Structures are given as C-alpha cells and as structure tokens.
Amino acid sequence: FAPKLLAGHSILLTAGPTREAIDPVRYISNQSSGKMGFALAKAAADMGAEVTLVSGPVNLTTPVGVKRVDVISTQDMLEAVMRRVDSHDIFIGCAAVADYRVTEIANEKIKKSSTDMQLALVRNPDILATVASHNPRPFTLGFAAETQDVERYAKDKLVRKKLDMIAANDVSNPELGFNADNNALKVIWAKGQEDLPATDKQTLAIQLLGIVAERIAILKDD
Ligand code: C5P
C-alpha cells in the first residue's frame, strides 16, 4: 500500500535501453533491463499519479494503470518524449540511452570479409537535458550510473543537465543496479541529499517518489 502522495500529478518516464540498428539484423545496445523504470512507473501509479512510460525494448509487463509507449531507437524515444512533455509535470529519465548511433544504417545485411572493419558512430541527443531545457519544464529527475566517484559525477550531471534531482547508483557492484533486482541510490538535489540503502527496486521506487513528492510540495511553497 502506498499513500497517494502523487495524486494530481502526471509523470512521464523513460525506461529500458535504446537500440541502434547497424543493419536489418544487427544493433548496438546495453544491459539495461528496464526494471527500475518499470518499478517507478508502478509506484507512481500506486501513489495516484497519471503515468506515461516510454520504454525501449524490454521483457517486462506493463504495470496496471500505466500508459505505455514502445520505442526502439534514441531518436524515437526523444520524439515520443517531446511530443508528451507539455502534458506532464514530472519527467523521470530512467532509460539507459545509447550515447551513439551508427552514422548510416545499412539497408542490407552487411557481409563479413576477411579483414577488420570500422563502424562510424555519431552522438545521440540527450533526452534528459533536452527536457530540462524545455520551456516550460517539468520537475526533472535523472539517473546516474557510475562505477567510481558516484557523488561527484552525479552532482556534476545535476548542474550540467539542469536537473531538479538526480538519483545515482554505483554499478560496479553486480548485485545492484543494472539488470539486478536490488539497487541502492544516492538522491541529490540543489539543497540536499538522501541515501536510500540497498533494497528491492519496487521499495526503492516508492522511497524515491516519496522524496520527489516532498520536494515538489516544498517548491510550491517557496
Ligand atoms: O550522462 P549520462 O548518460 O550518465 O546521464 C544519465 C541520465 O541521462 C539518465 O537519466 C539517462 O536516462 C539520461 N540520458 C538521456 N539521453 C541520453 C543520455 C542519457 O536521457 N542520450
């Protein structure tokens, strides 16, 4: 049971990996399972929010009461998010977005030869930073997965991407974070921070959204 702390709010969330095609049968992607994002979507719906979940390719069931939009590539995810950003007051970027895509997707399956080959890549847009720079902007929460200096890199990301809050996790521990069922988060905002110790992702999602609800209520009073 979760108290309806987010009643009256609408949350737009990204989850899972994005996938960048190389040719009709190959792609570049990452190990994200989407579990944290889906846990957040469920928790947000349980807490009374209207939830739209923009998800990359994952093997998870849509939580009850959550509107789901499926996308594959980063550019698709950006478009799906920007089309909906104005109708939501909270954005959570939980997706593990591919930082690069191939410069030109081959129309036919690339034939192997006996020599090595090079793949040309271009930078993908940053969905989270694009949302945070949008006017009017929703309350924007990002994630940071780091293997070292978690707090320093997370604080840097908070400022650089102009976020309201960042939830950082140490992915060097294989028991936590990427693809695991448990996670621990260091939640940081401009004027404070809070550590959420290791627990299952569903419990953590409720705790994290509790902090979001509290910060939004405080911002309203400011
Ligand atoms: O810079 P870094 O990839 O570590 O930032 C992670 C945060 O930024 C996550 O919240 C992720 O969802 C978001 N992100 C994004 N678009 C990208 C890269 C990251 O929305 N192209």
- Binding site membership of 91 for ligand 1 (Cβ less than 6 Å): no
How much is the average pLDDT of 79-94?
A: 98
Q: pLDDT tens digits, residue range 166-211?
A: 999 988 887 776 677 888 999 999 999 999 999 999 999 999 999 9
200 is a domain residue? yes
pTM, two decimal places: 0.95
- Binding site membership of 185 for ligand 1 (Cβ less than 6 Å): no
Count structural domains, the chain: 1
24 is a domain residue? yes
Nearest alpha carbon, ligand 1 atom 13: 128
- Binding site membership of 63 for ligand 1 (Cβ less than 6 Å): no
159 is a domain residue? yes
- Give the pLDDT confidence score for residue 222 in this predicted structure: 65
115 is a domain residue? no
Catalytic, 124? Answer no
How much is the average pLDDT of 63-91?
A: 98
| DSSP states along the chain | ----TTTT-EEEEEESB--EEEETTEEE-----SHHHHHHHHHHHHTT-EEEEEE-S---PPPTTEEEEE--SHHHHHHHHHHHGGG-SEEEE--B--SEEESS--SSPPPP-SS-----EEEPP-HHHHHHTSSSPPEEEEEEEESS-HHHHHHHHHHHTT-SEEEEEETTSTTBSTT-SEEEEEEEETTEEEEEEEEEHHHHHHHHHHHHHHHHHHHHH-
180 is a domain residue? yes
Residue 1 has pLDDT above 70, yes or no: no
3 is a domain residue? no
* Separation of CA 183 and ligand 1 centre (Å): 18
- Give the pLDDT confidence score for residue 171 in this predicted structure: 83
Query: Of the residues 127, 163, 186, which should be mutated to test ligand 1's pocket, given the most ligand atoms within 8 Å of the CB?
Result: 127
- Of the pLDDT bands very low, low, confident and very high (cuts 50, 70, 90), residue 3 is confident
- Per the structure, the complete domain to which residue 84 belongs is given by 10-101+120-221
This complex has an ipTM of 0.97
Domain at 143, CATH number: 3.40.50.10300
* Token couple for 167: 């939830």
- Binding site membership of 17 for ligand 1 (Cβ less than 6 Å): no
107 is a domain residue? no
91 is a domain residue? yes
